[in-house]
């Protein structure tokens, strides 16, 4: 029996069949949505960045519960070991968003790197640690001593300089050593340094181990202290403002949720300690959250120009910045003004 000749497909018929198939697919497959490519947000394994893991998990959970069919936003935490690596990734556009040191953002913006601060990440959270068996009681007792700092761009360094000014001491009266925060507890234990000034949980790690104690804390000396700020590249602002706004909303929501009650902080400890985020001992993060409970705070993430101006002037005085940097050059307030903190249901 001869085969029937092949026929050229009828385009009109193909469109009709395709349309009918498409109409039946939702009924067969449900309302599944294509998962969006997540916005990768860089951060360090420090409690000043704790709002970021909470925001990522809360957004993912909201996406799972959403039945509207609208394409969701998504965020992905990318762990870095130090600020230079975060800086290089932002500069090279390998990532478009990150938690960064505020003075470092000022410097990048002044050098025409297209980045803007869009939200705070925390308040307070820096400590000056000394050995438990040391005789140091007052800050002035550190005259002539070796003190470790993470970087001259770190706000911890500015905290140290504020304490010097408060005691009418000169910077030349102490010996500064730049060191990775993770190495500081061991250096203090080995008496390679006499004190260190850094963010948490690296103070709490030594305190909980029993060989160190806080000499000064920002919670007592500089209540409106800010260090880590949410920073995004301007290309992302231009190309996807709704995504940036959603990230800001979730960071602000995470901050309010963290300060709402201790149980929320306990949940955040479990989240952040996981391998996907900080990959740290949860007992150390919990120690930061409880000793005392306002060692680091997150609920007041207002963008206040005077506070940034103070940081900028302190950075100029310290030689971190060569010249003053205009506020508008490194801050975009529009997202904070339009913010509606996300409800965090974790």
The one-digit pLDDT tens for each residue of the chain (346 residues) are: 333 333 334 433 333 334 443 443 344 344 455 667 899 999 999 999 999 999 999 999 999 888 777 668 999 999 999 899 999 999 999 999 999 999 999 999 999 999 999 999 999 999 999 999 999 999 999 999 999 999 888 999 999 999 999 999 999 999 999 999 999 999 999 999 999 999 999 999 999 999 999 999 999 999 899 999 999 999 999 999 999 999 999 999 999 999 999 999 999 999 999 999 999 999 999 999 999 999 999 999 999 999 999 999 999 999 999 999 999 999 999 999 999 999 999 9
Token pair recorded at residue 328: 């508008």
Which residue ranges does the chain devote to CATH 3.40.190.10?
39-123+226-337, 126-221
The structure's pTM equals 0.87
* CA 4 from centre of chain: 68
**Which superfamily does 126-221 belong to?**
Periplasmic binding protein-like II (3.40.190.10)
For residues 92-128, one letter each, b for 16 or more C-beta atoms within 10 angstroms of the residue's C-beta and e for the rest, the string is eeebbbbbbbbbbbbbbbbeebbbbbbbbbbbbbbbb
Q: What is the DSSP letter of 62?
A: H
Phi and psi, residue 77, nearest 5°: -75, 135
Phi and psi, residue 30, nearest 5°: 80, -160
Q: Residue 111, SS3?
A: coil
* The CATH number fitting domain 39-123+226-337, selected from 2.60.40.3710, 3.40.190.10, 3.30.505.50, 3.30.2130.10: 3.40.190.10
Question: 327: buried, middle or exposed (CB in 10 Å: 19+, 13-18, 0-12)?
Answer: middle
Residue 201, preceding bond cis, omega within 30 degrees? yes
What CA–CA distance (Å, rounded) separates 150 from 104? 13
In angstroms, how far apart are the furthest CA atoms of the chain? 106
């Amino acid at each position: 029996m001869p085969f029937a000749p092949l026929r050229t497909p009828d385009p009109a018929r193909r469109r009709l069949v395709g349309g009918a198939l498409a109409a039946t697919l939702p009924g067969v497959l449900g309302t599944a949505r294509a998962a969006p490519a997540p916005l990768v947000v860089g951060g360090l394994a420090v409690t000043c960045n704790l709002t970021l893991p909470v925001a990522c998990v809360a957004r993912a959970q909201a996406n799972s519960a959403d039945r509207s069919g609208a394409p969701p936003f998504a965020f992905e935490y990318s762990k870095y070991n130090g600020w230079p690596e975060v800086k290089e990734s932002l500069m090279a556009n390998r990532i478009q968003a990150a938690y960064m040191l505020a003075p470092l953002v000022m410097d990048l913006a002044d050098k025409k790197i297209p980045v803007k601060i869009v939200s705070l990440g925390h308040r307070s959270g820096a400590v000056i640690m000394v050995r438990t068996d040391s005789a140091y009681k007052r800050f002035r007792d550190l005259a002539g001593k070796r003190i470790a700092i993470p970087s001259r761009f770190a706000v911890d360094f500015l905290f140290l300089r504020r304490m010097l000014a408060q005691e009418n001491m000169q910077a030349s009266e102490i010996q500064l050593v730049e060191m990775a925060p993770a190495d500081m507890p061991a250096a203090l234990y080995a008496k390679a340094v006499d004190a260190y000034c850094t963010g948490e949980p690296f103070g709490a790690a030594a305190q909980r181990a029993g060989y160190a104690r806080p000499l000064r804390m920002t919670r007592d000396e500089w209540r409106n202290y800010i260090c880590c700020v949410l920073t995004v590249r301007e290309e992302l602002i231009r190309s996807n403002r709704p995504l940036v706004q959603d990230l800001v909303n979730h960071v602000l929501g995470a901050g309010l949720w963290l300060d709402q009650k201790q149980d929320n902080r306990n949940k955040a400890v479990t989240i952040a300690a996981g391998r996907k985020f900080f990959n740290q001992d949860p007992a150390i993060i919990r120690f930061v959250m409880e000793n005392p409970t306002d060692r680091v705070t997150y609920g007041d993430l207002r963008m206040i120009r005077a506070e940034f101006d103070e940081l900028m002037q302190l950075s100029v005085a310290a030689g971190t910045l060569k010249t003053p940097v205009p506020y508008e050059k490194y801050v975009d307030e529009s997202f904070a003004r339009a913010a509606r903190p996300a409800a965090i249901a974790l």
